[in-house]
Amino acid sequence: ITFDWVLFICLLLFATKSSQFEEDRYGKFRRQHIDGKMTEKKCDKVIKKKEIWNDNNSCKATNTFILDNPSEVKNICVKGKFDENLQMTKSHKKFRVVKCVLKNEGAKKPRCQYKGNLLTDRYVAVACQGDLPVHFAGDIMVLNDMNN
């Protein structure tokens, strides 16, 4: 066995292992937006722990957590109603959400400071990829034409 062959095998193993740790779109959505135990007082702690910030390390202006279990949130893509105008799927049921809003505009990690608000009876809109939510689009109190 030559050195080049050993190097090739090592690089191949490294590439295989490192790709296993890449987060898929649903995994990122779940990490950033689903947390059944979230409260409005835990925004700073949870956002830091879950490493939620923009690609350039600036703090996100807002981040919303859906207070439910992942299977209920996944059901949005199965049971929800697709909105042609928004190109998003609206939830079939209401959720409780915590919306974390950045207090110190322009801050970068780890100095993100948020004010949390608990919102109840909220429909949510998500982008779906297959039967999985991959992007949080927003939350609304009342949906028009939900049954149409």
Percent share of the chain, pLDDT over 90: 76
- Is 108 inside a domain boundary? yes
- In this predicted structure, the answer to whether residue 102 has a pLDDT above a threshold of 90 is yes
- Average pLDDT, stretch 83-104? 95
Query: Does residue 80 fall inside a structural domain?
Result: yes
11 located within any domain: no
Q: Judge whether 7 lies within some domain.
A: no
Confidence (pTM): 0.81
Which pLDDT value is given to residue 19? 40
SS (H, E, C) 63-115: EEEECCCHHHHHHHHHHCEEECCCCEEECCCCEEEEEEEECCCCCECCCCCEE
Show Cβ contacts of residue 3 under 8 Å, excluding neighbours closer than 6 positions. none
What CATH number is attached to the domain comprising 119?
3.10.130.10
Whether 91 has a pLDDT exceeding 70, the answer reads yes
Question: Whole domain around residue 115: which residue ranges?
Answer: 25-140
Joined together, the tokens standing for residue 83 give: 């909105």
For helices 25-33 and 70-79, what crossing angle results, to 10°? 120
Residue 20 domain-assigned?
A: no
Q: Identity (one letter) of the amino acid at 10?
A: C
Q: Is residue 18 part of a domain?
A: no
Note whether residue 10 is domain-resident. Answer: no
What's the length of the chain?
148
CA distance 140 to 10: 51
- Is the residue at 128 inside a domain? yes
Domains identified in the chain, total number: 1
So what's the pLDDT on residue 4? 55
